[in-house]
Every structure is written in structure tokens, then in C-alpha cells.
Chains A and B, each alone.
Chain A
Amino acid sequence: MVETIGNTAEGNMIINVGPQHPATHGVLHLVITINGETIQKVEPHLGYIHRSIEKMCESLTYRQFIYVTSRMDYLSAHINNHACALCVEKGLQIEVPTRAQYIRVIMDELTRIASHELWWGAMAMDLGAFTPFFHAFRERESINDIMEETCGARLTMNYMVPGGVMQDIHPDFQRKVKAFIQQFKSKFSEYNEMVTGNIIFQNRMKQVGVLSAEDAISYGCSGPAARGSGVSCDIRKIYPYEIYNTLEFEEVLETGGDSFARYMVRLNEMHQSIKIIEQLIDNIPEGDFQAKTKAVLKLPKGEFYQRVETARGELGVYIVSEGGTTPYRIKFRSPGFSNLSVLDHIARGSKLGDLVAMMGTLDLVIPDIDR
């Protein structure tokens, strides 16, 4: 057991950030050794929201376990479900109808935008600017309304089933999505005016938490955290799933490696997601929204791995099947877990105030880390 109170032998102070702390956005517990304002060591203590989803999934059927995963990274719940659905489909070799694929990808990208919106607001709030939070939520609210109409839920959508989506889209779906795209485009300049261009903000972000490309790979970082360091790791580009290989979009890369680079990656990713949705929204083909599947799914004996790009990075679903109705072993490779492990490395030597900038730009979602 590590001492979490008092001082170290060298006279450095140990402070506990979390599990209840305004900057950790959840129940992350960081034990920080500081010398004055300078961070010497950051040690994460996890498990405050560990629900052992992997163990739970071992006793849930292939239809049921998908919905537990909404509770991992709740901000990209839809993409988590998507990964599980894809993995089961891979095992059963189900051909998903094109309409379902289109809907899935649109929903994925909407989720990604919603997640980035929340991240943007929350990160600005960490740095002391409260106002952006409300501006971000204005746009996020529109996405949630769209989700609510079609999926029936706003946060944990549970819209995926093996073989497609649960029901067809709402008749108003396309109009609302287009209205959202308009809204997003007209309001986006506010984001830059309010936060990106602010000199205080730039000073807080630039050269803070610099992560080199080698370290990003070695620490297993993925998603915007790694792309900010110039590591090309967008699963949608490298190992395309669904219809991503037919779509035109760019993998956003920045080379700075600092917090500002990670920030810019996420901002630009929102634009790319909008671009993807624009390509799809008018062309959703007619047809089934779900493939015909058996009532009870039995995956053949073997191992199946599916990786997708969530808002936070690479999510891997690893199913080991013994041929039964439930997985024998299931492993979720969550992006947050690996991204968190780099925090100690980049935080050493920085000021305490920088820690929130780093945590903010790594975009940690604690249930995703703990699972």
C-alpha cells in the first residue's frame, strides 16, 4: 500500500486529487507528489467505478452483452455498442445491410461530435473558463435530441443489434441532422473566438504535456492523444470497418505533441465527422435496417477481435468463444486505460495547474478506464 497522506522523506508534499475532485470528471484518484507547485510524480489509483464488465459479460448472451458496454465509455456509448456488434457479426459472418451500415456510421459520427463537444466544454472549464461549457452543450443538446428521437435514449443509446440497428430511423432524422450541421457550422467560429484564439488559453496549452511519437506508441496511446503527436492511428483509415473505406475524410494529425496539438486534433475531427455525415445523410439507401439473424446467437469456437475508433481512441473487443451462447472470455481494450498510463510520464516536472490541461486533453472518461 502506498502512503497517500503526509510528506515524502525528501520533504515533498503528497496530495490526493480525487476521487472526488472537480478536475477529474469522475472518480479518478491521483496521488501526486509535488515539490512546491512542481509535480514530481503522478500515480493513478483506479477501481472506484470498476463494475467488472468483463466478468459480467461472461454470463450474458451475445445479444445482451452489447448494452452493458454503453456503460464503459458513456460518451461514445454508441461506438462501444458498434464495436461489440461488429465483433459478433465477424464471428457469425453476418452480412449487414447497407442501410444499417449507413445509419451506424452516421450515428457513430454524431456520437463522436457530441463527445468532443462535451470534452471541449469540460476542458475549458478545467482551465477556468466556465462559459464555453454552456456553448458546447447548446450543440450537444441538438445531437441528443436527434438520438432521443431515433434511439429512444440520449446518452446510452443501445441502438445496435448484431446484424444491424434496432429500429429504423425517425422520419425527421435527416432533416434534423442537416439542421444540426447548419447550426454547428454557424456556431463553430464562436469556439475559436472564445477559446482557441485566447492568448491565456494558448499559453496554458502550448508546450504543456509534450508527448513524443515514440512514447505515444510505446505507451499504447491511441485516438487524438496519439494523433496530436503525429502518430497515424485512426482505425477508420488503417483497418476500415463498415463503409469507412468508401468515405472521403482526412485523418487529423498534428505534430506538436503538446496539449494544444491534442486540442486542435479534436476540434478538427469534429469537422471531419461533419464531412462524413454530409456525405451520407442524403444517400441513405432503402432496404432493411437489420439482417435476419437467429433468435439465439451462438458464436463458433474461436477468437474474434474487432477494433474501432471511438471518440477517445482505439477500442478493441476480444471475444473468446467456446461455441456457447455466452462468451467464454471477453476483453475490452479501452483507449482511456492506455492513455491514462502516459499521464505520469508527461506530467513530471510541470506545474500543478498544467495537470488539468493534460488530463483535459487526454480526455479521460473514468468508467472507460475502470470498466
Chain B
Amino acid sequence: MTNEDLKIKLTELMPSAVIEEGGEWLTLNIEASNWHSMATILRSEVTVCFDYLFCLTCIDWKSHLTMVYHLSSTSYRHNIVVKINLDRNNPAIETVANIWRTAEFHEREVYELFGVNFLNHPDLRLLILPDGWEGKNPLRKDFEDPINMIKL
């Protein structure tokens, strides 16, 4: 499906989402509160069928955090990017680990590196960082490690 067709389809499915064009793939900007229901639609709606979450990450914009989900469909081979802005001081978003199982590990990674709290996550613990490292989030822009960090 081309991006134009996909855009029409997605507008029908999710009227509240803001669809942005310009990049390689369509970008959906949505509200954190809508995310879980929209994710369910994206996954289960047979005409789009985004069954493959191939990248899940977060960006620290200093003013806010942005969750970025890259979704792909193994049957139609189309891709979209979903972006959700979160409050930087108290970031929380519904988990999608029950929709795409791969999100379980990726969300744990984002949780420890960015401090995003995933609600209803089955097992939200530190994955990579050693115990007792909660609260310091290495991939946030204000994280400082005077000993080990490279600075340009």
C-alpha cells in the first residue's frame, strides 16, 4: 500500500490522529491517552495489519520526551511511525507488550534508559543497568557521568 492509500485508511480508522507526511514513512502523532486503543486497532484491523513492531525507542527533546514506535506489516509490507509526546518530569504511557510481545523487552530498555513508566507492563524492571540504578537515566540529555563519558 502506498503512503497515500495508507493515509486515507488511517484517517478513517483514527480521526483523532495527526498524520504527518514528508519523511520516508507516514508519521502518526497521537495522544498518550489514546495510544493503547489505537495500537489495538493498528494491530487487529485486517486492512492495515501492523503486526510487526520493529523498533521502539524514545527521544529526549529536553522539553519533553517523544516515544517513537516503528510499525510494519508483514502481509502488506507498509510501515508507519507513531510518535507520542510525553511529559518529561513524569513520563507514563500504557504498555503495548500485550499487543506486540517484543515490546516487553524494548519497553524495559526504554524504562531504564529514559525513565518512562509503562503502565500495566508485566515485568517492568531494570534489564541492562545494574541494581540500584533507578532514577538516573543514561540516555537523557542531562545525564552526566564525569568519568566514563565522551564529550565532543
Contacts and interface: CB of A to CB of B under 8 A. Distances in A.
Contacts of A61: 152
A348 to B, nearest CB: 14
B131 interface: yes
Given A59-B150, A326-B152, A220 B53 contact: yes
A267 interface: no
Nearest to A61: B152
B54 A59 contact: no
A67 to B, nearest CB: 13
A329 B59 contact: yes
Contacts of B150: 56, 59-60
B57 A331 contact: yes
B13 interface: no
B77 interface: yes
Contacts, number: 93
Label chain A's interface by main secondary structure.
mixed
A303 interface: yes
Nearest to A233: B74
B152 A333 contact: no
B102 A54 contact: no
B18 interface: no
Interface residues of B, number: 36
A59 B74 contact: no
A220 B151 contact: no
Contacts of B129: 47, 50
Interface stretch (A78-86, A122-130, A211-219, A280-288): A211-219
B152 A331 contact: no
A59 B152 contact: yes
Nearest to B131: A1
B151 A59 contact: yes
Nearest to B25: A305
Interface string A166-190: 0000000000000000000000000
A329 B60 contact: yes
A282 B13 CA distance: 52
B105 A340 contact: yes
A305 B57 CA distance: 13
Interface in A201-242: 215, 217-220, 222, 231-233, 238-239
Given A340-B105, A370-B128, A307 B54 contact: yes
Given A1-B131, A218-B100, A305 B74 contact: no
A55 B105 contact: no
Nearest to B130: A47
A307 B55 CA distance: 10
A333 B51 contact: no
Contacts of B152: 59-61, 326
Contacts of A47: 127-130
Contacts of A108: none
A2 interface: yes
A231 B74 contact: yes
B27 to A, nearest CB: 8
Nearest to A337: B105
A318 B150 CA distance: 21
Interface in B98-137: 100-102, 104-106, 109, 125, 127-131
A31 B57 CA distance: 26
A316 B70 contact: yes
Interface string A314-333: 10101010000010110101
Contact of B102 (A44, A50, A90, A341): A341
B15 interface: no
B25 to A, nearest CB: 8
19 contacts: A47-B128, A47-B129, A52-B139, A59-B152, A61-B152, A220-B101, A238-B77, A305-B24, A305-B70, A316-B54, A318-B68, A320-B59, A331-B57, A337-B105, A338-B106, A340-B105, A341-B101, A341-B104, A345-B101
The 10 tightest CB contacts between A and B, nearest first, are A220-B102, A47-B128, A341-B105, A59-B152, A333-B55, A331-B57, A218-B101, A329-B59, A219-B101, A46-B128
Interface of A: 1-2, 44-47, 50, 52, 54-56, 59-61, 90, 215, 217-220, 222, 231-233, 238-239, 302-305, 307, 314, 316, 318, 320, 326, 328-329, 331, 333, 337-338, 340-341, 345, 370
